[in-house]
């Protein structure tokens, strides 16, 4: 299968959607949809397609805390089963994508007045260790020596600090994990296209089972052309947008399945807090203090090391006041995060001017739904998932999270294989996402590439996609030049985003493929230069250059307008 995954691939796949019936059509190109299309493609015997109304991972799957985690916090809520699943899935993802999912130590800080005593957290930590066999290096331990805690994590506030629990999770770029999953599905024959919007379900055809939906109407967002896609089974994997699909289902009963209360996660990117070197950097989790004056339960704030010597500061369990497509941190939420971070790092100067980037996402939290008896207990919102089928035959994937997306996909694929009467062979728990070694081959033709950036970095970031980048540089040595001295990316990587990762817009490139939007200046100064370069290589006319730059600038202005 060709490694090209481009706008040309997209056009060809749209033509296939128009002319050839599928076994399964997946609506939604986030991590859950990506996991499912990969599982179906690796299984064999199933003709599967996926459409996404915007760019891949443009919703919740690009606005997470960038963690693949074992769910220690769910242990404190006594959701033992979810913790077991999360820990198992974390180990699987580390095994199949070691260059993307990397272990990270996290210090769970405990101060006087926190809702959980350190002794109680210590007991939970011991139980956490027993739930899953972990590497000796990743055993959860308790540290009561305050000065030792500071030596490990950096200059945190020590007044009333009682100690910390050290546990292990993993960091990941959620977009890169989604793209790697989709590209592996593409390599195995899946038919995938972004910027294709679901419009509605079509009426059942004469050949379909009674009252069973087997067609949808879709729109190519780029050309504005509408067309139908036919499939034996349609699956909605649209995260917090699932109720929007459900509301158009012919069998819709007027009852939504998701919650918005406490579903919003807010995040800021700020200069690195704590240890400056990635090899020494710890993530931090602490209970907040702002709620105490209002006699509310504290939330949890996390401060996690990120790329380019930055930290991601965030919290969850806020309630969005805006539409799903328009979530962003409000001025009060940004001030709240800055204040709490300043409290933990009192010697670090933090204010709104320190914010490099801001983003927010909405989690697909499942309501205690009366249609699925026994699914949820009263007063409890699950971070687990629900796979259900409507009377009209549409499958809906509710809930889930980044860590457990693969398991959710496996369970769904089990059902689909049975429905299609196809032999079932799940391979996603053992098949690597990248079919290359971690060490790049030696070759004289790589000299220009090696002299400008590490080949190992390219292999780690792009997997076997490094071969396309290598060929681009071999054909034109100028593509080994960095796009700017302050960032590690070379010009060939920009082209690869379009020819190897189906980027369509400048925003796709800067905000998701490279995360340049998460660096100081957010790429606003180099956006025109990059657009001009892309115009020369991808044939953009002057009008498109202007439109692409302005669209990106408007996106950044909108994100930052509350700060």
| Of 552, 395, 357, 305, the residue nearest 24 (C-alpha) | 395
3-state secondary structure of 366: strand
Q: Give the pLDDT confidence score for residue 101 in this predicted structure.
A: 95
Is the confidence at residue 443, as pLDDT, over 60? Answer: no
Is the confidence at residue 293, as pLDDT, over 70? Answer: no
**What span, in angstroms and rounded, lies between the C-alpha atoms of 466 and 486?**
22
pLDDT: which is higher, 535 or 454: 535
Q: How far is CA 196 from CA 219, 221, 258, in A?
A: 6, 6, 24
- Percentage of residues in the chain with pLDDT exceeding 90? 70
Q: Give the pLDDT confidence score for residue 383 in this predicted structure.
A: 58
Is the confidence at residue 381, as pLDDT, over 70? Answer: no
Spell out the domains of the chain, with CATH numbers in brackets.
7-61+175-257+369-420 (3.50.50.60), 94-171+260-365 (3.30.9.10), 444-560 (1.10.8)
Contact predicate 490/470, CB 8 Å: no
Averaged pLDDT, 293-299: 70
In terms of C-beta density within 10 A (0-12 exposed, 13-18 middle, 19 or more buried), how is residue 367 classed?
Answer: buried
Is the confidence at residue 372, as pLDDT, over 50? Answer: no
Within 13 Å, how many C-alpha atoms sit on residue 506's CB side? Answer: 27
- Among 125-134, 194-203, 239-248, 514-523, which stretch is predicted with the lowest mean pLDDT? 125-134
**What span, in angstroms and rounded, lies between the C-alpha atoms of 229 and 16?**
9
Contact predicate 192/183, CB 8 Å: no
Q: Give the pLDDT confidence score for residue 440 in this predicted structure.
A: 47
Q: Give the pLDDT confidence score for residue 446 in this predicted structure.
A: 54
Q: How far is CA 368 from CA 371, 372, 379, 406, in A?
A: 9, 8, 8, 24
Chain segment 125-176, per-residue pLDDT in tens: 888 877 776 667 788 889 999 999 999 999 999 999 999 999 889 999 999 9
Averaged pLDDT, 408-418: 96
**pLDDT grade for 434, boundaries at 50, 70 and 90:** confident
Encoded tokens for 224: 């504005």
- Among 78-92, 237-251, 407-421, which stretch is predicted with the lowest mean pLDDT? 78-92
Bridge partners, 24 (sequence order): 48, 233
**What span, in angstroms and rounded, lies between the C-alpha atoms of 505 and 525?**
17
Please say whether the dihedral angle defined by the alpha carbons of residues 160, 164, 169 and 173, taken in this order, is positive or negative.
Answer: positive
Is the confidence at residue 115, as pLDDT, over 70? Answer: yes
Q: Annotate 417-482 with DSSP letters as a single string.
A: HHHHT------TTTS-SS-S-SSPPP-GGGHHHHHHS-HHHHHHHHGGGHHHHHHHHHH-GGGGSB
Q: Give the pLDDT confidence score for residue 130 in this predicted structure.
A: 78
Averaged pLDDT, 518-524: 97
Averaged pLDDT, 65-77: 82
Q: Annotate 251-303 with DSSP letters as a single string.
A: T--S---EE-TT-EEEEEEEEPPS-SSGGG--EEEEE-SGGGGGT----EEEE
**pLDDT grade for 438, boundaries at 50, 70 and 90:** very low
Averaged pLDDT, 461-486: 93
Q: Annotate 139-168 with DSSP letters as a single string.
A: --EEE--HHHHHHHH-S---TTEEEEEEEE
Contact predicate 483/513, CB 8 Å: no
Contact predicate 275/154, CB 8 Å: yes
Q: Give the pLDDT confidence score for residue 365 in this predicted structure.
A: 85
Q: Annotate 393-426 with DSSP letters as a single string.
A: S-EEEEE--STTHHHHHHHHHHHHHHHHT-----
């Amino acid at each position: 299968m060709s490694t090209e995954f481009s706008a040309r691939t997209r056009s060809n796949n749209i033509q296939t959607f128009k002319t050839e019936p599928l076994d399964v059509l997946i609506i939604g190109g986030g991590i859950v949809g990506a996991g499912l299309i990969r599982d179906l493609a690796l299984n064999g015997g199933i003709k599967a397609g996926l459409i996404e109304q915007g760019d891949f991972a443009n919703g919740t799957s690009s606005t997470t805390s960038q963690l693949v985690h074992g769910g220690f916090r769910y242990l404190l809520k006594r959701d033992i089963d979810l913790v077991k699943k999360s820990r198992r899935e974390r180990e699987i993802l580390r095994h199949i994508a070691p260059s993307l999912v990397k272990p990270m130590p996290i210090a769970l800080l405990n101060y006087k007045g926190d809702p959980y005593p350190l002794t109680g957290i210590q007991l939970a930590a011991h139980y956490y260790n027993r739930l899953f066999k972990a590497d000796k290096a990743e055993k959860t331990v308790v540290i009561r020596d305050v000065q030792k805690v500071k030596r490990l994590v950096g200059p945190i506030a020590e007044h009333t600090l009682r100690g910390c629990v050290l546990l292990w999770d993993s960091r990941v770029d959620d977009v890169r994990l989604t793209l790697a999953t989709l590209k592996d599905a593409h390599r195995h024959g899946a038919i995938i296209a972004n910027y294709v919007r679901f419009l509605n379900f079509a009426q059942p055809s004469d050949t379909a089972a009674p009252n069973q939906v087997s067609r949808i109407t879709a729109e190519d967002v780029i050309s504005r052309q509408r067309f139908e896609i036919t499939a034996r089974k349609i699956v909605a994997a649209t995260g917090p947008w699932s109720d929007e699909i459900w509301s158009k289902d012919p069998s819709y009963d007027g009852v939504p399945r998701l919650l918005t209360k406490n579903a919003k996660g807010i995040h800021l990117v700020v200069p690195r807090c704590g240890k400056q070197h990635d090899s020494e950097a710890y993530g931090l989790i602490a209970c907040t203090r702002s709620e105490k004056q209002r006699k509310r339960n504290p939330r949890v704030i996390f401060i996690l090391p990120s790329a380019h010597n930055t930290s991601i500061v965030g919290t969850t369990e806020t309630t969005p006041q805006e539409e799903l497509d328009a979530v962003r941190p409000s001025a009060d939420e940004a001030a709240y995060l800055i204040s709490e971070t300043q409290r933990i790092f009192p010697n670090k100067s933090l204010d709104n001017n320190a914010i490099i980037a801001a983003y927010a996402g909405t989690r697909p939290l499942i309501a205690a739904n009366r249609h699925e008896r026994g699914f949820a207990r009263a007063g409890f919102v699950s971070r687990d998932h629900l796979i259900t089928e409507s009377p009209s035959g549409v499958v809906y994937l509710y809930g889930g999270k980044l860590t457990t997306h693969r398991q959710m996909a496996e369970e769904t694929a089990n059902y689909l294989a049975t429905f299609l009467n196809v032999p079932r062979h799940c391979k996603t728990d053992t098949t690597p996402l990248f079919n290359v070694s971690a060490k790049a081959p030696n070759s004289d033709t790589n000299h220009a590439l090696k002299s400008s950036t590490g080949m190992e970095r390219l292999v780690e970031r792009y997997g076997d996609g490094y071969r396309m980048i290598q060929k681009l540089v071999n054909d034109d040595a100028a593509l080994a030049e960095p796009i700017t001295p302050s960032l590690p990316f070379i010009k060939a990587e920009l082209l690869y985003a379009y020819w190897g990762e189906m980027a369509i817009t400048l925003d796709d490139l800067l905000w998701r493929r490279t995360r340049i939007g998460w660096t100081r200046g957010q790429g606003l100064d180099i956006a025109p230069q990059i657009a001009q370069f892309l115009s020369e290589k991808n044939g953009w006319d002057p009008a498109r250059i202007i439109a692409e730059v302005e669209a990106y600038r408007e996106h950044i202005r909108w994100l930052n307008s509350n700060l």
